[in-house]
Chains A and B, each alone.
Chain A
Amino acid sequence: MKLFTISGSPHINRKSSVKKIMLMVIISLLPAMFVSVYYFGISAIRVSLIAIASAVFFEWIIQKLFFKGTKSIGDLSAVVTGLLLAFNLPSNLQWWIVVIGSFVAIGIAKMSFGGLGKNPFNPALVGRVFLLISFPVQMTTWPKVDVLDFSLVDAETGATPLAIVKEGVKEGLSISEIFDKLPVTFTDMFWGNMGGSLGEVPVLALVIGALFLLGRRVITWHIPFSILATIGIFTGILHGINPDMYAPPLFHVLTGGIILGAFFMATDMATSPMTPKGQIIFGVGIGIITVVIRLWGAYPEGISFAILLMNALVPLINNVSKPKAFGKVKK
């Protein structure tokens, strides 16, 4: 007698997979990658490839040595982590520092918690922040933008717009005086023609990639929108009170990796809340912490720390932002 497969319903699945989701994230990062190569040259590719290769290698070797059961090496998640880490690094970073970053991101932030989906903190950001604290000089020596220069040597270096503004304010200059000295305009910031990590500068290209992810419903608007709105409103109020002390909101949104952070880092599925309500709480929290660090903290940027701090609160946020129950009985 012919026997058939028996299993519980449902008997069909949507044609989606972890791998497809990861592939879409990679595709969405490609426009920014191209722009980055345009401004920073071949060294942007160099850092990215080192980060990706080492991330995949560490995932593979750790799974081989320590993991039983399902292996996740084929799902491209390590590629995404490596690429996002590279996006958060200067393009002139020494290769061995990149490898250390990948090791911290994959080995410590992801695999030691059990691998895919089990990490409480965004792996790429843990890697980045580890490097920022351990190698502060190398991590904040940004190459100057040199359009279509494909040599591997970046001789000139310079500070990011955010760092210039922060230093200026400390020295007692007014915002308008600082802006006069700033080497870049708002248009430059929009296109990505400024100093910074290789993937955080091309704002327009990142937005295009983000729209793709929104369209394919890999991410939803809740987290990025609430981050951008919070930063915009918070800095807008301060700028309105004292335009000499506080830079305008547009400046804050366009610089220091806010777009990369809001659309690509904070939206990491494993480390963000499960409901729209929770995601908005999460986004608002990131926005507030970012602005507080930028204006009153030691670092000119701040969104990396903000995301990691809010990552830690995700389980609590999930507890207070349960979905609205159907037919809930009031007690």
Chain B
Amino acid sequence: MARLKTFRIGGIHPEENKFSAAKPIEVFPIPEKVYVPVTQHLGAPSSLLVKRNDTVKIGTLLAKADAFISANVHSPVSGTVEKIDEIIDASGYRKANIVIKVEGNEWEDGIDNSSAIIKECNLSAKEITDILKEKGIVGMGGATFPSHIKYMIPEGKDVDYLIINAVECEPYLTSDHAIMLEKTEEILIGIDILKKASGAKKALVGIENNKLDAIAKMQEVAKSFKDIEIQPLRVKYPQGAEKQLIRALTKREVPSGKLPIEVGCVVNNVGTALASYEAVQKNKPLIERVVTVTGKAVKNPSNLLVRIGTPVKELIDHVGGLPEDTGKVISGGPMMGKAISNLDVPVTKGTSGVLMMTKAESKRKKPLNCIRCAKCVSVCPMGLEPYLLQQLVDSERWEDAELNRIMDCIECGSCQFICPSKRELLDYIRVGKARVGAIIRSRAKR
């Protein structure tokens, strides 16, 4: 057998712990109240369109994207706006928040809520892009970048490949795996639509080789589509990182500080492809998503189809309750996810998983001296020297940190994962990136 493709430099192999891998998607019941943050995406906040006591239906526009990089937010339920307040979301920041009391199950006109599959799509690239914007589609892998912007291809640039990220390299998470098994045809139609929107000649779908059933099913269904290639990849973290995935599939390297379009690629997550199908073919805005709820001590790890705005607490109750020994709850995966302080945090467009960690797993060990074992250098997928960046940040040598390409760090956490001295490398690098970024911006202003 030919050696499977992967990205070239660095990478790690954390324990997979994909406990919910064989679990079918379960439709989670609509809660009594939902909490919908107005900003669930990367970019400028959207502006609020509703006020207290307004009646909304499923799919009603709640907040509108005014800025260039922003996204619409739609109501995930039908009912009455109870109040508009602030909530701390998974990022830890306070955000404007719409609380909706659920009443009935009324959908906005024109949304096709059936499970009938519509394959035919005769829209132009521009029309597709407009629908993505209208329906509030954002990257569902976790970065939540508004998708329509990716398909506004700049003048003079050609797209060779649409890259679909179905790698799911984060340990524990299985939501992408689950939708590939259950929504295979919808996803492939979605990919076909996105391919059209991007103008790409070919779509490449990268799936890690630990999801053999998903690879087989996707390959089978992809036969009835033109120019969509399902590519099994060697299991290695962080293969789901945009630049690493492009490297693995096309051997092209996105230059430092540039976007994938520079090497003729547009990248979207497989979950985004599904959401795009629903938006374009079924007129359905992004109001629900599949969330993996899991953990070593969790009774019944599950893949749940959840309405946006459902508090994390209700999901946890559904899978057997919060384990006694829980010390940390993470929104996302263990490598790049964010620890949340309380369980009132709602599911948003970017919530790929809820991971409960035991007390023993939650505490960081005391960091020891760097023994210069060079493991961090050998695992860095960007070819950086994390041990050196840590020293430079610690001694506030911002210019040297910039010269050593601190801004190239993708914050995958491989260096900190591998460090035998348990040093907080990424913490330091994040601080450094913030400072160096500010210096670069102030220089640009001058």
Q: Is A12 in contact with B14, judged by CB distance below 8 angstroms?
A: yes
Task: Establish whether residues B405 and A18, one from each chain, have CB atoms under 8 Å apart when the complex forms.
Answer: no
**What distance in Å separates the Cβ of A278 from its nearest Cβ neighbour in chain B?**
9
With a cutoff of 8 Å between Cβ atoms, the chain A residues found around residue B338 in the complex are 9
User: Which residues of B lie under 8 Å from residue A324 when comparing CB positions?
Assistant: 9, 383
Contact flag A4-B328 (CB < 8 Å), given A12-B14, A325-B382, A326-B253:
yes
Q: Which chain A residue has the least Cβ–Cβ distance from B359?
A: A5
Q: Could you say which residues of chain A place their CB within 8 Å of the CB of B373?
A: 21, 269
Per-residue interface assignment for chain A, residues 268 to 293, with 1 indicating a CB less than 8 Å from any chain B CB and 0 otherwise: 01111111000000000000000000
Cβ B368 vs Cβ A327 within 8 A: no
How far, in Å, is A214 (CB) from chain B's closest CB? 15
Chain B nearest Cβ from A268, distance in angstroms? 9
Is B380 interfacial (CB-CB < 8 Å)? Answer: yes
Stretch at the interface among B38-46, B178-186, B408-416: B408-416
Report whether A10 and B416 are in contact in the complex, using a CB–CB cutoff of 8 Å. Answer: yes
**In the complex, B369 has a CB within 8 A of chain A:** yes
Per-residue contact bits, chain B 372-415, to A (CB 8 Å; 1 contact, 0 not): 11100100111111010000000000000000010010010110
A322 to B387, CA, bound (A): 12
Is the CB of B164 closer than 8 A to any CB of chain A? no
Q: Are B327 and A4 in contact (CB under 8 A)?
A: yes
Q: Is the CB of B253 within 8 A of A327?
A: yes
B374 adjacent to A327 (CB under 8 Å): no
Kindly provide the distance from the CB of A266 to the nearest chain B CB, expressed in whole angstroms: 14
The answer to whether residues A11 and B357 also contact, given A116-B371, A326-B9, A329-B257 and a CB cut-off of 8 A, is yes
The answer to whether B382 and A326 touch across the interface, beta carbons within 8 angstroms, is yes
Supposing A5-B339, A274-B372 touch, asked if A329 and B255 sit within 8 A by C-beta, the answer is yes
Is B337 positioned at the interface, with any CB of A under 8 Å from its CB? yes
Assess the B420–A20 pair: CB atoms within 8 A. yes
A 101-130 contacts with B by CB, 8 A: 114-118
CB of A7 within 8 A of chain B? Answer: yes
B369 & A72 in contact (Cβ 8 Å cutoff): yes
How big is the B interface, by class? Answer: 35 or more
Contacts A5-B339, A13-B422 given; does A327 touch B365 at CB 8 Å: no
Q: Give the dominant DSSP class at A's interface.
A: loop
Query: Could you tell me the distance between the alpha carbons of A17 and B364 in the complex, rounded to whole angstroms?
Result: 13
Q: A6 within 8 Å of B by Cβ?
A: yes
A114 to B391 alpha-carbon distance, docked (Å): 15
Q: Is B258 an interface residue (CB 8 A)?
A: yes
Tell me if B430 counts as interface (CB < 8 A to partner A): yes
Query: Of B9, B340, B363, B426, which one neighbours A10 at CB under 8 angstroms?
Result: B426
Q: Using Cβ atoms and an 8 Å threshold, which residues of chain B touch A115?
A: 369
**Interface of chain A residues 305 through 328 with chain B (CB within 8 A):** 322-328
Taking the complex as formed, is B77 at the interface, i.e. its CB lies under 8 A from any CB of chain A? no
Supposing A70-B366, A325-B382 touch, asked if A4 and B341 sit within 8 A by C-beta, the answer is yes
Contact flag A117-B362 (CB < 8 Å), given A12-B171, A18-B420, A325-B405: no
Smallest CB-CB separation from B258: which chain A residue?
A: A327
Give the residues from 411 to 443 in chain B that come closer than 8 angstroms, CB to CB, to chain A.
411, 413-414, 416-422, 424, 426-427, 430
Decide yes or no whether A14 CB sits under 8 A from chain B. Answer: yes
With contact pairs A4-B340, A5-B339, A274-B385 given, residues A18 and B368 touching in the complex (Cβ less than 8 Å): yes
Check: A1 CB closer than 8 A to any chain B CB: yes
Whether A3 sits at the interface, judged by CB under 8 Å, is yes
Known interface pairs A11-B334, A14-B14; A3-B342 also in contact (CB < 8 Å): yes
Binary interface encoding of chain A residues 77-120 relative to chain B, with 1 for a CB under 8 A from any of its CBs, else 0: 00000000000000000000000000000000000001111100
Docked complex Cα distance between A29 and B369 (Å): 24
Q: Which residues of A contact B405 (CB under 8 A)?
A: 325
* B153 in the interface (beta carbon within 8 A): no
B342 near A4 with CB under 8 A, answer yes
Chain B neighbourhood of A172, CB < 8 A? none
Q: Is A8 an interface residue (CB 8 A)?
A: yes
Known: A1-B342, A8-B430, A269-B372. A326 touches B336 (CB 8 A): no
Q: Is the CB of A6 within 8 A of B339?
A: yes
- Most chain A beta carbons < 10 A, residue from B247, B254, B337, B405: B405
Q: Is A187 an interface residue (CB 8 A)?
A: no
Cα A21 to Cα B405 in complex, Å, equals 30
Instruction: Confirm or deny: B47 has a beta carbon within 8 angstroms of a beta carbon on chain A.
Output: no
Contacting residue for A327 out of B15, B243, B369, CB 8 A: B243
Decide if A18 touches B421 in the complex (CB within 8 Å).
Answer: yes
Contact of B372 with A270 in the complex, beta carbons under 8 Å: yes
Does B370 sit within 8 A of A, measured CB to CB? Answer: yes
Contact B357 A274 (CB under 8 A): no
CB distance from A211 to the nearest CB of B (A): 19
Chain B residues lying within 8 Å of A275, measured Cβ to Cβ, are: 374, 377
Q: How near does chain B come to A118, taking the closest CB pair, in angstroms?
A: 7
Q: CA of A16 to CA of B335 in the docked complex: distance in angstroms?
A: 17
A146 lies within 8 A of chain B by Cβ: no
**Interface status of A75 (Cβ within 8 A of chain B):** yes
Question: Which of chain B's residues has its CB closest to A218's CB?
Answer: B373
Given contacts A10-B336, A116-B371, contact A5 B328 (CB under 8 A): yes
Q: In angstroms, how far is the closest chain A Cβ from the Cβ of B129?
A: 27
In the complex, chain A residues whose CB is within 8 Å of the CB of B328: 4-7, 11
CA distance A16 to B12 in the complex (A): 13
**Does B55 touch A at the CB level, under 8 Å?**
no
In angstroms, Cα B243 to Cα A273, docked, is 28
- Report the minimum CB–CB distance from B212 to chain A (whole Å): 24
CB–CB B382/A10 < 8 A: no
B120 nearest CB across to chain A (Å)? 39
A5→B363 contact, CB < 8 A: yes
Could you say which of B329, B339, B377 contacts A323, with CB atoms under 8 Å apart?
B377
B328 to chain A, nearest CB (A): 4
Nearest chain-B residue to A325 (Cβ)? B383
A323 touches B385 (CB 8 A): yes
- B66 on interface, CB distance cutoff 8 Å: no
CB-defined A-B contacts under 8 Å, sample of 23: A3-B341, A4-B327, A4-B329, A4-B339, A5-B339, A6-B339, A8-B339, A10-B416, A10-B426, A11-B328, A11-B362, A13-B416, A14-B14, A16-B418, A274-B385, A274-B387, A275-B377, A325-B382, A326-B9, A326-B247, A326-B253, A327-B408, A329-B255
Given A6-B341, A116-B368, 11 more A-B residue pairs with CB atoms under 8 Å apart are A4-B329, A11-B328, A12-B171, A14-B12, A17-B420, A270-B372, A272-B372, A323-B380, A325-B408, A327-B254, A327-B382
* 5 closest Cβ pairs, A-B complex: A10-B413, A117-B371, A274-B374, A117-B369, A325-B383
